[in-house]
Amino acid sequence: MASSNGIVWLNTAETARRLGVTPRTLYRFIDEGQLPAYRFGRVIRLKESEVEQFIDNCRIAPGTLETDTSSAGGDESYDAGESETTSVNEATLT
């Protein structure tokens, strides 16, 4: 939804879909201050440009995925997280 001043506003459902997360996770990002949002009466909207910036800021730098298995809970937790990510990606494609 574009406004007269050129700002493209997204609703929470569209934003959650774009990010591939549940609305609950989106609200957590907003509540923790990771993603700016705006309330207009009872409606929450997000600026498309700020959502895109949030996505860019979430980029994983090369070489940073190496984890200390003693603090990460071993290889099992890493494998579980990987399959969970795959499930989310598959769900967003359908």
Q: For position 6, which CATH number holds?
A: 1.10.10
Residue type, 45: R
Cα distances (angstroms) measured from residue 81 to each of 24, 74, 84, 86, 87: 18, 12, 5, 9, 10
51: buried, middle or exposed (CB in 10 Å: 19+, 13-18, 0-12)?
Answer: buried
15: buried, middle or exposed (CB in 10 Å: 19+, 13-18, 0-12)?
Answer: buried
Q: Is 72 within the bounds of a domain?
A: no
Domain count for the chain, please give it.
Answer: 1
Q: Is 6 within the bounds of a domain?
A: yes
Write out the chain's pLDDT in tens, 94 residues. Answer: 667 689 999 999 999 999 999 999 999 999 999 999 999 999 999 999 999 999 999 999 999 988 765 554 545 444 444 444 444 544 544 4
Q: Is 46 within the bounds of a domain?
A: yes
pTM of the model: 0.64
The boundaries of the domain holding residue 43 are 1-59
